[in-house]
Structure 1
Amino acid sequence: MISFLSLGLVGIVAIALPITFSTPAVGALQVRVSPTNPKLGDTIAVAIEQQPGTTGSTPTIKLQDKTYPAFEIAPNRFRAMLPTTPLEQPGVRRFQVIAGDQVRNMAVKVGNRSFPIQRINLPPGKSGISATQYELDRVAAFKKLVTPQKYWNGAFARPNKGRISAIYGVRRYYNGKFAKDYYHRGVDYAGGVGSPVVAPASGRVALVGTVSQGFRIHGNIVGIDHGQGVTSAFLHLSRIDVKEGDMVKPGQVIGAVGATGAVTGPHLHWGLYVHGEAVDPVPWREQGFN
């Protein structure tokens, strides 16, 4: 869990603007943002429309020192996905939408959110485990994927039927010591060992790692690239049923719940990432981003 729980302070976004397109001067970019009242941990969708006949390039979003790509979703219409995390401060931010020589300056607001605190006692032999360099490198490369194609469609499904034992954003003490700059980067499902883990959405299997290869923290892991900077990681598996390069569909079994890696007991950890930052999977399951 630790490297997928690795730090990633991103100064990103939110929006307090209407969901309908704004009406700037003729020829200007039109922009809408959803949700209308985002909070820390939410994914922000920025929809951009260029006037028909307008000559321009594919838009990008510039926020502080980061640039996020937009992808075409219909003729003259584009969308960028921006992550927010519990490590940010709530409040107003400003970003630019840029398409060729057209620029729109936007003001955005991210609301505050309270995250619970959890105390974890790792058993002997688990608390001193550290990730291997190979593990860290593979995970880092996976999180950087930004595939232009969008594989998913609609809301994401639940990856396991077990009860949720830890929600997104939880702050933690490990063996009595507060984990500074840490938050739980996913949702844990307390499924029994061997219970199926399914793909929550379509995508390409871009990472398969095992304990025998050096995945000491994550344990046996499967990573799915859903496209356009959106990825899912499934940790601590007892069994892996896919290989890198496989295309998977929603509900397809990709492995089974286990207790491999740095864990206190059997469970599935599902982490959902947008441009490398762990976001709350719940809105992706309940509302989705088409």
Structure 2
Amino acid sequence: MTVEYHTSKLNKKVLSLGVPARIAKFSAISVVLGIFAALPIALAGEAKALQVQVSPETPRLGDTISVVVNLDNPANGSNVTVTNGDQTYPAYEIAPQQYRAFIPTTPLEKAGTRNVQVSFEGQVQNLSIQVRDRKFPIQRINLPPGKAGVEATEYELKRAAEFKAIRTPEKFWDAAFLAPNKGPITTIYGVRRYYNGKFANDYYHRGVDYAGAAGSPVVAPAAGRVALVGKVSQGFRVHGNVVGIDHGQGVASIFMHLSRINVKEGDIVKPGQLIGAVGATGASTGPHLHWGLYVNGKSIDPVPWRDQAVK
């Protein structure tokens, strides 16, 4: 009806200029078709290719791969999806028209190509990311009587799993992470281990150990919300006294073997804020701090997060 209405108007206008009716009808239809023919060009101009940035350019096993997506049309930005194999990683807004997803890598994976697909509103971009190999040292640990063969309780495993599954859309951190203790690092990330002579299959050291003196301060490496507080008295046999901080957008820190806890669940902490003290609780051979950093549920190397800002 709309087309016929406008055609009638155009016919009258053309006829008023003294053009014969047959020619006027043809002219009017041509004008209308011309209008509709122009529409796809305008609409096509609105959809541009996705702009995707990946860092680091040459990641190693244990690194966190950052995939940043810039959108020309910010509408429905939450529909950005980033997939790698059968895994889909959430993409969170970090700036107007800009979204980011983190892809974690671990020592239990193989080096090689990661085929990553970024999708948004019908637009798809396929990426091939080369992940380099990395050699992780092997360590032999002899646990003293009473701590050898200690197994986590069901409650401990449940709380730890719930903590690692947290995905908060808000981003709390805004700078490079701080070292949570002033002691030297004695065990790096990714170490494979023999416990009392038996190799631990599917195990790698999920964090870094700081040889801080017993009772020395443990501070929050970045801003966040305390999402886990566990104690030996509650059944945390392996973790010992533990604090977990949700930094937002799938990033979370865990601090184990504490002698003292200075925060409670739900507290908002700032970078450098005191959260506890170094201890030897749980499965520990002596006083030290274990700091683990998880990205989308997997333990990654926290050192790159400490050495440079992942904003």
TM-score norm. by structure 1 comes to: 0.89
| 1:153 and 2:174 aligned | yes
| 1:41 and 2:46 aligned | no
Distance 1:54 1:223, change over 3 A: closer
Residue of structure 1 in register with 2:297 after alignment? 276
Would you say the 8 A contact 1:147–1:229 is kept in 2? yes
Aligned counterparts of 1:34 and 1:270: Cα–Cα separation in 2: 24
Distance 1:56 1:204, change over 3 A: closer
Aligned counterparts of 2:219 and 2:227: Cα–Cα separation in 1: 15
Counterpart pick for 1:226 among 235, 238, 247: 247
Higher helix content, 1 or 2: 2
Distance 1:55 1:237, change over 3 A: closer
Distance 1:99 1:266, change over 3 A: same
Aligned counterparts of 1:223 and 1:98: Cα–Cα separation in 2: 33
Would you say the 8 A contact 2:176–2:309 is kept in 1? yes
Aligned counterparts of 1:55 and 1:161: Cα–Cα separation in 2: 45
Residue of structure 1 in register with 2:222 after alignment? 201
Residue of structure 2 in register with 1:213 after alignment? 234
Q: Determine helix, strand or coil for the equivalent of 2:263.
A: coil
Aligned counterparts of 1:53 and 1:143: Cα–Cα separation in 2: 30
Q: Determine helix, strand or coil for the equivalent of 1:113.
A: coil
Counterpart pick for 2:156 among 112, 124, 135: 135
Residue of structure 2 in register with 1:250 after alignment? 271
Aligned counterparts of 1:53 and 1:118: Cα–Cα separation in 2: 49
Aligned counterparts of 1:260 and 1:94: Cα–Cα separation in 2: 42
Structure having the higher Rg: 2
Q: Determine helix, strand or coil for the equivalent of 1:107.
A: strand
Would you say the 8 A contact 1:57–1:100 is kept in 2? no
Q: Which runs of 5+ in 1 are unaligned?
A: 1-24
Counterpart pick for 1:118 among 139, 143, 155: 139
| 1:70 and 2:91 aligned | yes
Counterpart pick for 2:107 among 86, 104, 113: 86
Deviations 1:144-184 (A, max 9, x none): 00100000011000000111110000011110111111110
Would you say the 8 A contact 1:58–1:71 is kept in 2? no
| 1:108 and 2:129 aligned | yes
| 1:235 and 2:251 aligned | no
| 1:169 and 2:190 aligned | yes
RMSD (CA atoms): 1.3
What does residue range 5-44 of structure 1 map to in structure 2 within 5 Å?
27-44=48-65
- What letter matches 1:247 in structure 2? I
Distance 1:84 1:265, change over 3 A: same
Would you say the 8 A contact 1:93–1:109 is kept in 2? yes
TM-score norm. by structure 2 comes to: 0.83
